[in-house]
Structure 1
């Protein structure tokens, strides 16, 4: 069992206690220290279908998560005597979308997905426990359309970086 696997339950309990979800834990050596990287995100809630954007984590929420994880690790003996540096953050846009909650979290965002061997890019309109609906813009050869993709057929998906989203008021 790796160190990350060993501390995962403790870290998960700590972040769930403040209403967040644990996305990932990684422990890597850095000289005489170790770096513990913890990715947390807002819990999209129990709803099965999301069709409204979710607010991103605030700096205060990340700070609260850092304190909760730090306190939990300090109270346990899981990290041993070797010093470590704790880094807590939210997942960036480069994170692959692999779970239904990732899609529910990204309603309104532009994503590129490979589904049954075909790549599509569109804005997430709706995400449920079994599928995601994208608004796909028109191209030279196809009109704009909505397309529902079952998660079972998704091979990969990721959020695309947008510097000026259509709903930006300052654009």
Structure 2
């Protein structure tokens, strides 16, 4: 199914560039008996429902016009934002998140905890630095990169 994903990426990129959006991810998955083509898009300031409709319409039109059909089976096309709590999957996304509130899950305990939330202060090859605001006290915490299982943006309550 990677051929479908790669084809869709090639088709959607010019559409996104035209509207100053960027591609977050594409997935083509089977859930129960149905196939889903999911395209996650974003832009500075966030994606609106109208942005998703625009990209969905243009992408659908381009895919339908291709011969041979790159996706011969029936599928549902979903275009959406990656969400307010999107994963931070690589160094570039971590660097872009500096100054943002994040959630970090660890493989093993650090200071008696496996999860931390706070404002991402810095990122380097060895560690992430969080301004941790838990329980009303502020401290800076350096988390070694090798301990990090997952990181994502988080909503601060």
Structure 2 residue aligned with 1:98 = 89
- Structure with the higher fraction of residues in strand conformation: 2
Q: Does 1:79 align with 2:71?
A: yes
Q: 2:138 aligns with which of 144, 156, 164?
A: 144
Q: TM-score, normalised by structure 2?
A: 0.66
Pair 1:21 & 2:22 matched: yes
Question: Match of 1:59?
Answer: 49
What residue is the counterpart of 1:155 in the other structure? 149
Please list every run of 5 or more consecutive structure 2 residues that lacks an aligned counterpart in the other structure: none
Deviations 1:102-140 (A, max 9, x none): 345545543221468434320235668997553212558
- The residue number in structure 1 matching 2:130 is 134
SS in 2 for 1:65: helix
Counterparts of 1:57 and 1:128, CA distance in 2: 29
Unaligned segments of structure 1, at least 5 residues = 43-53, 165-171
> TM-score normalised to the size of structure 1?
0.62
Q: Which structure features the higher share of helix residues?
A: 2
* Paired residue secondary structure (2:78): strand
Distance 1:38 1:91, change over 3 A: same
Separation in structure 2 between the aligned mates of residue 15 and residue 129 of structure 1, nearest angstrom: 31
The secondary structure found in structure 1 opposite 2:41 is strand
3-state secondary structure, aligned to 2:8: helix
- The Cα RMSD (Å) is 3.6
> Where do residues 109-120 of structure 1 align in structure 2 (5 Å cutoff)?
109-114=100-105, 117=108, 118=110, 119-120=115-116
Look up the match of 1:49: none
